Structure 1
Amino acid sequence: MTGWRTHKGKMLGLPVANIDTDQLIPARFMSVRRGEGYGSYLMHDMRRDKTGALRADFPLNVHPKASVILAGRNFGSGSSREAAVYALVDAGIRAVIAPGFGDIFASNAVNNSLLPAKIDEESYAALDAALSKGPQEVTIDIDARSLTLGTLQVGFALDDSWATKLINGWDDIDLTRNHDAAITAFKHIRSQTAAWAWPAAAD
Structure 2
Amino acid sequence: MSKKPIDRKAYQDFIDTVKHQGKVMFLEDDNVCLTGEFYQKGREELEATVVQKGLTLKQGMSGKVDVLIVADTPSASFAHGMFGRKLEFAFQLRDAGHHIRIYSEYEAVPVLRAMDDVAERPVKPAKPAKAPKPESEYTKLIATGIKEPNFCVTGTFDTGSRKVVAPMLVELLGMPFSSSVTKHTQILVVGNQGDMDSSKARKARTMGIEVLAESEVFE
- Common fold: TM-score over 0.5: no
**TM-score (normalizing by structure 1):** 0.23
Determine which structure has greater relative contact order: mean sequence separation of CA pairs < 8 Å that are 6+ residues apart, divided by chain length.
Answer: 1
Q: Which has the larger radius of gyration?
A: 2
